[in-house]
Structures are given as C-alpha cells and as structure tokens.
Chain A
C-alpha cells in the first residue's frame, strides 16, 4: 500500500520562484488537506478539499493555491516563493462523512516535503 505519497522530499527555492508540491493517495479518500509544520506552532491547515472539484481555505492560505481535478491528486502551488514559506509541508487524506454521521476516522499523512526559500 502506497498510502499518501508526496514529492519532492526536499526543495530549495529562490525568492520569487514558483513550484508545485505533489500529493497523491491511493485509498479513494474524499478528504485531502495540506498542512505546514513550523517549530513551536504544530501543524497549521493551509487548504483542504472534500472531493474532486471542491477546495477551501484553511488557517494560513495566503501565498498558496490548490486544485483537485481527481480524487487521487491534490497539488499545492507556490506562485512566488517567500522566505516565510520555509517550512515542512504535509499532505493528508481521510474519508469524509455527512454532517449527520459521527466522524470516526483518522487522517493519513505523507512523509513531508522540506522546503527552504532563500
């Protein structure tokens, strides 16, 4: 089982460059999300998607774009990288449920992408 696959594992960008962090899952999960992890701040939600064609902003969306054209893939785009975006990025996926049902499932995480913007 591949689970959640993120690429690349490491990346160095110059300020102003653009790039896309890739995330793919093979568990047929509806819900996918991107987090950034910074020292002393835990994981903060950037963007999330509850299904193909549907995305929404999380806690820290500025500077990032996402799209969800398929159930499997959820790429994160940095249009113009800034040093403040230096972080470790994690993609996660899980099943979703209607509001009327109790949530009882966990998120599965990728291995992370360590991004440095200089």
Chain B
C-alpha cells in the first residue's frame, strides 16, 4: 500500500546551518506531496506542497522538489533560525477519489542559537 518514510530525528542544528530532511514515498498513481509543520502545542500547518513531478514547493525559505524518478520529496532550507524549531511531517495525498492522506512519522528539528 501507499506509505511515506522520513528520516528519524531529532535533528539538532546551529542557527544559520543548512537543513535537509529526507522523505521518500511509495504510491500507486500520481499522489500530491506535502510538508506540514507542527509547533509545540499546536496543530499541523501546511508548509508547502507539490502536485506533479518536478514541481517545486516553497514557503518561508523552505523548498522541496517532487522527484518521481527517486520517489522523494526532501525538505531543505539554506539557513535555519531558532523559530524553525518544530516537528516536520511529510505526507502524501492518495490520488483516489476518497482523498486519504498518509503521513510520515515526523522529524523533530531543534535549532540552537
């Protein structure tokens, strides 16, 4: 069945460091791909998305490119800030009519000043 695998955390970085969080997926058809962010005590917020191969989603300095050939959607940011400390979830939206979302296990990011 459809699944999402993302790197385990926690990831600890110094401010201004480069961030990569790996995400790979298994799906039939052509899913949409998402990154969500969860700040402490809050719900999930959409960070960025991509709906077809080679699309690049971007928001708040974060980027991810939909790579069909490697079934990946890695999250990157060139210079992280303390305020980026959160849990990041990779997710796919199944292309069937029932509209299910499948989430990875989440990666906790801690950025130190």
Contact = CB atoms under 8 A, between A and B. Distances in A.
Given A42-B89, A103-B93, A111-B43, A50 B30 contact: no
A45 interface: yes
Nearest to A3: B43
B99 A97 contact: yes
Interface string B80-107: 0000000001000111111111111110
Given A43-B89, A102-B52, A94 B99 contact: yes
Given A41-B105, A42-B106, A43-B103, A98 B97 contact: yes
B101 A107 contact: yes
Contacts of B32: 102-105
Interface of B: 30-32, 34, 36, 42-46, 49, 51-52, 89, 93-106
